[in-house]
Structure 1
């Protein structure tokens, strides 16, 4: 297969499509969760509860922990593109990237006012690890990334708990989750905003740290950067072989990991051993399943000259990922929270999936319209403009 090198404008289409697909999955998951206002209606007829459970289980199996991981991987890829473009212009991008992460922190604070499940703050902080590793060799970066993905902190906690029976692991995010839930279900708009300034963010970010996402996100950022370096999102003999290898290896690895995740925890009596064990296995199984999804998606794209129609259909959604990520939360909380339509009380999985698809279609249509008139989404434009403030635009 002798494929010409793609133009830069074409090269990112598969990435934009994949990012749009990941964001769609995130929207569906957030709607199922009522944007962290968990409530399962018990007044539905039994047959409808069974259908709800079926869809809940399917969506969570396919996308929970995988959509976020895909988003994280592509964040690292985007860093490489920006770093590479700046280097071609003779610009050291590292300082600008640090400033860019501060700007992302500001976006996170705006987003967190509405929704207490923000991931942008985590990205803004963890993204800084790309600065010291961006000039290291591929093998070194790969070794660091794999080490982080193995969850070394959780291994340490698990081993310590195994030899120290009195060691107790507690979920420190729970009190903040309870407080946040009370406000989002019953509070006014201003009460929710005030709660999210502090309590909501403690809930969200402590949970992310305790769920192993700190190390996982750093590792995914680095792997995404390596995918950019190795040009694996460009169609070639090498990239096709690599993605086929990843797909096959992922399927082989996922089966035992899934069994370890489902069957082993019941036999672990010490909860302080079980908690880190569960985090490790869940993190690894999600990572492997994410690799299966990404490789399958990319190989499907490569099968056609410019991807399938359904893949191209979601490209605008991925191109405006920051705008759509923030605005889907603003729309969603207004639908489910107590100060809005308060639909968390009466919507099961089927209803929330329909709402999620509606939000997605509305945002997709807006994205297509906006990008027909502008090169970037509103928040993407502000982010880029502020990133290069005081410097000639590249």
Structure 2
């Protein structure tokens, strides 16, 4: 059962990486601010339709899958640590601080779209839910999902001054990313230049709000793990069908509202709420493949990518910045949205092949190994099992802490 469960989780994680790469391709090609200002770049036939397709089917709905699995894995790791007599909170604290450090290095020296730093910070917050009951976690998840969705209420428009600053920033970024040296791009990325010109209080509010925006999917993942979902695919098949058939259409409809009714005051709410609902629908749709008896060789390809998820995620950054930035090939803003999607599929295909052959030689990826060493403080990267008495004592101490 454990082997099958891990296969599903790794498979879903590997599946999420293709969507994450396609969505991130907009940032690699145009920058965080430029991805919504495509009029400044060279576009080709079909790019407008491809961009809308990305916004509805992909953007904002694959990264939450990673968040869901992060929460799911936290509970499974907690169970393993308790079984082996490890100190749960200490192990998690080391793991999340290491994740924060990797995220800072990634964002400073490689790419501006890093997620590892946020995951590490949020992981520290999520530790308060480790010993909560499933019902409590579910209530928190639903409540936060609804409340944070209303941040998009009113779909506020940019002021002319903000629009002018953003245009100027995007044009400047276009020149630097396309033609600049590594040091030019790194200095620009870390300059702290703000095209919106918001006051410090606004950024403090954003920093305080961000964990609440990200929490729901983490909590849903923790809930699923505590309820032992994805452990018996054949027995859970009806759940997969029911949730996928409900959540995918609802998610797609909500994410389409900004394009069907662009002037609606509810467009922002619909988009923010639709993204995570679609993500959860995708999770159950992919899990259904395990209950339908799909060729295990096909599923194993996704599992291999998922087992090396951190390594593959960081490699995507290195490969794409080399392709698009001036110190590499310098194709920033040149290939278009549709070709960017095709490039993402090609890169992912190479990662499927490389992951397959890598795991024939090694069992763990280099960055996954680093995380294990930092978590368990052992070169083997594994927790040491203790006697039954020691295990019971440690579990009791953790629950009282």
TM-score tier, shorter chain, comes to 0.7 to 0.9
Q: Is the 8 A contact 2:91 2:376 kept in 1?
A: yes
Alpha-carbon distance between aligned partners in 2 of 1:78 and 1:308, rounded to the nearest angstrom: 23
Provide the C-alpha distance between the structure 1 equivalents of 2:304 and 2:28, rounded to a whole number of angstroms.
25
Whether contact under 8 Å (2:152, 2:272) holds in the other structure is no
Corresponding residue of 2:76? 81
Match of 2:192 in 1: 199
Residues 258/325 of structure 1: CA separation in 2 closer, same or farther (3 Å cut): closer
- 1:294 corresponds in structure 2 to 283
1:21 corresponds to 2:5? no
C-alpha distance in 2 between matches for 1:266 and 1:295: 33
Structure 1 residue 375, shift from structure 2 partner: 1.2
CA gap 1:28/1:155 in 2 versus in 1, 3 angstroms: closer
Say which SS state the counterpart of residue 270 (structure 2) adopts.
helix
Which residue of 2 is the match for residue 190 of structure 1? 183
5+ residue gaps, structure 1, are 1-5, 163-169, 269-276
Are residue 121 (structure 1) and residue 117 (structure 2) matched? yes
Q: How many correspondences in the alignment?
A: 364
Q: Which moved more, 1:377-386 or 1:123-132?
A: 123-132
- TM-score of the two chains, using structure 1 as the length reference: 0.80
Correspondence for 1:72: 67
Q: 2 CA distance for matches of 1:289 and 1:260?
A: 14
1:228 to 1:65, Cα distance in 2 relative to 1, 3 A = same
Residue 393, structure 1, aligned to residue 390, structure 2: no
Select the residue among 219, 224, 229 that pairs with 1:222: 219
Partner of 2:272: 283
Measured after TM superposition, the shift of residue 177 of structure 1 is 6.4
- How far apart, CA to CA, are the structure 2 residues paired with 1:292 and 1:192? 38
Shift of 1:26: 1.2
Q: How do residues 232-243 of structure 1 correspond to structure 2 at under 5 angstroms? A: 232-235=229-232, 239-243=236-240
| 1:380 paired to 2:368 | yes
Query: Is the contact made by 1:36 and 1:116 (CA closer than 8 Å) also made in structure 2?
Result: no
Is the CA contact 2:68–2:221 (under 8 Å) kept in the aligned structure 1? yes
Q: 1:342 aligns with which of 330, 333, 357?
A: 330
CA distance, structure 2, for counterparts of residue 295 and residue 240 of structure 1: 9
Contact conserved, 2:61 with 2:276, CA < 8 A, in 1? yes
Q: Is the 8 A contact 1:41 1:346 kept in 2?
A: no
What is the match of residue 257 of structure 1? 254
Does the CA-based 8 Å contact 1:138-1:226 persist in structure 2?
A: yes
Q: Is the 8 A contact 2:64 2:276 kept in 1?
A: yes
Using structure 2 for the length normalisation, give the TM-score: 0.79
Distance in 2 (alpha carbons) for counterparts of 1:296 and 1:104:
29
